[in-house]
Amino acid sequence: MTKPVIGFIGLGLMGGNMVENLQTRGYQVNVMDLSQDAVDAVLARGNATQFTSAKELAAASDIVQFCLTTSAVVEKIVYGDDGVLAGIKEGSVLVDFGTSIPASTKKIGAALAEKGAGMIDAPLGRTPAHAKDGLLNIMAAGDMDTFNKVKPLLEEQGENVFHLGALGAGHTTKLINNFMGMTTVATMSQAFAVAKLAGVDGQQLFDIMSAGPSNSPFMQFCKFYAVDGEEKLGFSVANANKDLGYFLAMCEDLGTKSLIAQGTSTSLQEAVDAGMGQNDVPVIFDYFTKLEK
């Protein structure tokens, strides 16, 4: 069978490596990004076309994939006068790999359905290195017919492809995952910070906690910074702050609230305001060691 033409918008570290994987596997790609350098890297590998119009990219592609930063950016690229919605073909599918607000995802899916197009939300797990090799974890959701249409492609992009249910379930699961992860990292980082303020040796604290049920990769990442001064998590304070905000918005949509997320979100925002936004989340340890009553 002829491979579908892939339109890909968002060539950051993750998206750029995902496109390289597609090119390695013989896909023709149509790409769009604000960084000309990122686009040029794709074009240099061949079998690729640059677009500056999301409408025209969508019209020239069988499957459109996003790897973008925020729900606001996704909505702008979908709904703009020159956006994907204006150009997407009947029978095409939009796949959103980013972390978005589920209510926004469902709204976009309904708008696409009116055009005869489908949507899958498919947030990612693992790293850009996994993306380059097609070994991501993909948390996909959407109606089964649409999922089955893009499943062969997703299986070339991910080692583990999960179907989680109706549209929005992927983004919901990703936000819950990141809520658990980022509140854990913030909590453990503050534990190390309080230990430092109290004169307790951080390495000893780690040895004690890691000998019990608190031991986890997250504790290792927190220890790497709090004790060893190394950033190894690869997830920024700014991204964690965004995802916690989305989690809180989701809770509000569901008619509930999370005081745990609110507290972590406040700390993350203050760390961003203190200039730590582009640092690894465990660097919030520095914010906690300087926090005044």
Catalytic machinery residues: 174
Q: Which of 64, 91, 90 is nearest to 78 (CA)?
A: 64
**Joined tokens for residue 15:** 């998206």
Judged on CB neighbours under 10 Å (0-12, 13-18, 19+), 213 is exposed
- Find tokens 């190390």 and name the residue: 192
**Phi first, then psi: what are they for 224, rounded to 5°?**
-55, -40
Judged on CB neighbours under 10 Å (0-12, 13-18, 19+), 118 is buried
Q: Encode 141-165: b = buried (16+ Cβ within 10 Å), e = exposed.
A: bbbeebbebbeebbeebbeebbbbb
Whole-angstrom CA distances from 169 to 72, 112, 141 are 19, 17, 6
